[in-house]
Amino acid sequence: MRSHDLIIVGAGTGNALIDERFAHLDVALISEGPFGGTCLNAGCIPSKMLVATADVADAVREAGRHDVDAELLRIRWPDVHKRVFGRLDAASKEGEQGRRDSDNVTVYRGRARFTGERRLRVETEDGAVEICAQQIVVAAGGRPVVPPLVADSGLPYETSDTVMRIEAPPKRLAVLGGGYIAAELAHVFHSAGSQVTVIEKEDRLLGQQDETVSAALTEAVRPSWDLRLGRSLTKVSGTAGDLVLTLDDGKEVRADTLLVAVGRRPNSDLLDLDKAGIDADGSGRITVDGQLRTSADGVWALGDISTPVPLKHVANREAQVAAHNLLHPGAERTMNYEVVPSAVFTHPQIAQVGLTEQEAREQGMDYVVAVHRYSDVAYGWALEEKEGFCKVLADRRTGRLLGAHLLGPQAATLVQPLVIAMTTGMTARALAEQPLWIHPALTEVVENALLDLDTEENSTAAEGAAAAES
């Protein structure tokens, strides 16, 4: 059995953890899949590269609203595929080779399972290898959930891990699920020419988003996608390339391709955690403390296998915290999940941070809400934007921001000043009045939403301004 100072299981965010500070340690890096993990190979990056292409195509289709006559000839899918995955596959291989060339890192390619406390067995192409270490970081990620109804049908299906690499957009694509992965990929393939049907058990798409955003997105895509909302899949039949999907209302959906996008699960069940004394919760997430330590001494976990918020930017911050804690025993940092933004790159784009209105209402909070539309600011006019809005929630008494939600162009960028304000404790009024906001820019929709809030702070400011004028 070979002994290392540190073993990292997973070459996605786990690989990013290793920097020059670890040069004095003998590090083992285990990866079953390609380097870069889900984000680089089948998640955030390829999907957004495809979304960017889809957005260009949609801009051409919608050029008429700017009095521009334009016609979209086609999306050259093979060329798009080559551009996207040619770049990303090369980056993955370069990342692996860089580690193999390192003086202090040993790469093990294969599936790892725990055999005891801080001991692992790795099944490689050249045979099984037994390794151990004083410290281990588990960052083995997750995988798509596939309902048994689909998996046991014997018929082909795609997931987010595979669908972006198909040779051509299907003529008829059925999407099972209505979350952010389903919405983003439905946008991509609709823009590429597929007839898209979305089957979702909830009554709206993106049901975990703020209710105003969820309702607006659902209505925005209704003319483009065939929405089967409030419906469940009961049977998959037909043949490869001509699938028949039977719903719980007895109706059938015909499709060339089925994309299953009903969620993801941690890969913890593949690791024999019990043999290492590592606990996981009912959903399969490895349980960690605030410093990212597991229940097993010397074992840490981060990323989709353990985090309560499975987002890449969260995993990146967890890697920073874990790296510090590995190197500074007794002076550990704590991971903070209080203010976590996210975005959905649909058309229209969506971003959010903090509480939704339904969460604030369910918690019995004394809050106020303001909604300001893109069409009410100058650059919204320039964009001829009819759907977009910024919605903010704040504590009525203190003026502290509780949540923010945007739907429309550049939403993922526009949310950032609101994230900063919530992180630093800045009030809505202070954020609106202290910095200068560029005119005319879309950021004015955020500024005006903040000023529209009926907080005690805003009311006092308004009364003071009125008294000064009189």
- Examine the pLDDT at 466 and tell me if it is beyond 90: no
**Statement: residue 52 has pLDDT above 80:** yes
Q: What is the pLDDT of residue 325?
A: 98
Would you tell me how many other CB atoms lie within 10 Å of the CB of residue 285? 20
First to last CA, the chain: 84
Structure confidence at residue 346 as a pLDDT band (50, 70, 90): very high
Q: What is the chain's percent helix, strand, coil content, to nearest 5?
A: 35, 25, 35
Handedness of CA 303, 308, 311, 317 (dihedral sign): negative
* Dihedral angle sign, alpha carbons of residues 15, 17, 18, 24: negative
Structural contact between residues 302 and 37, judged by C-beta atoms closer than 8 angstroms: no
Q: Which of 217-231, 419-433, 453-467 is predicted least confidently? A: 453-467
Taking each continuous run of H as one helix and of E as one strand, the counts in the chain are: 15, 21
The mean pLDDT of the chain is 97
User: Which pLDDT belongs to residue 468?
Assistant: 66
Q: Go through 421-454 and write b for each residue having 16 or more CB atoms within 10 A of its CB, e for each that does not.
A: bbeeebbbbbbbeeeebeeebbbbbbbbbbbbbe
Domains of the chain: 2-143+265-327 (3.50.50.60), 148-262 (3.50.50.60), 348-469 (3.30.390.30)
Estimate to the nearest angstrom the gap between the alpha carbon of 392 and the chain centroid.
Answer: 21
Which whole-number Å values give the CA distances from 310 to 313, 320, 415, in the listed order? 9, 16, 19
Give the ranges where 138-178 is alpha helix by DSSP (H).
148-151
Nearest to 143 by CA among 30, 37, 264: 264
pLDDT of residue 271 exceeding 80, the answer is yes
- Indicate if the pLDDT at residue 301 is higher than 80: yes
| Token duo for residue 251 | 């109706």
pLDDT class for 360, splitting at 50, 70, 90?
A: very high
The model's pLDDT over 437-451, given as tens digits with 9 standing for 90+, comes to 999 999 999 999 999
Q: What is the pLDDT of residues 175-214, one digit of tens each?
A: 999 999 999 999 999 999 999 999 999 999 999 999 999 9
Checking if the pLDDT of 464 tops 80, the result is no
Which DSSP category does 249 fall into?
A: T
Average pLDDT over residues 244-252: 98
pLDDT at residue 415, rounded to an integer: 98
Q: What is the mean pLDDT of residues 105-119?
A: 98
What's the pLDDT at 194?
98
Q: What is the pLDDT of residue 470?
A: 62
pLDDT of 462 strictly over 80 = no
DSSP three-state, residue 51: helix
For 48, 89, 405, the CA distances from 424, given in Å and listed in that order, are: 29, 39, 18
For tokens 């609101």, the residue is: 418
**Cβ atoms within 10 Å of 48's Cβ, excluding its own:** 17
Residue with tokens 């979304």: 51
Which residue among 4, 347, 405, 439 is the active-site one?
A: 439
Question: What pLDDT, in 10s, does the model give residues 62-105?
Answer: 999 999 999 999 999 999 999 999 999 999 999 999 999 999 99
pLDDT at 460: 77
Q: What is the DSSP string of 406-442?
A: EESTTHHHHTHHHHHHHHHT-BHHHHHHSS---TTST
Active site residue 187: no
3-state secondary structure of 353: strand
Strand ranges (DSSP E) for 233-366? 233-239, 242-247, 252-255, 257-260, 264-266, 299-301, 342-344, 350-354
Average pLDDT for 420-437 = 98
Mean pLDDT of 22-32: 98
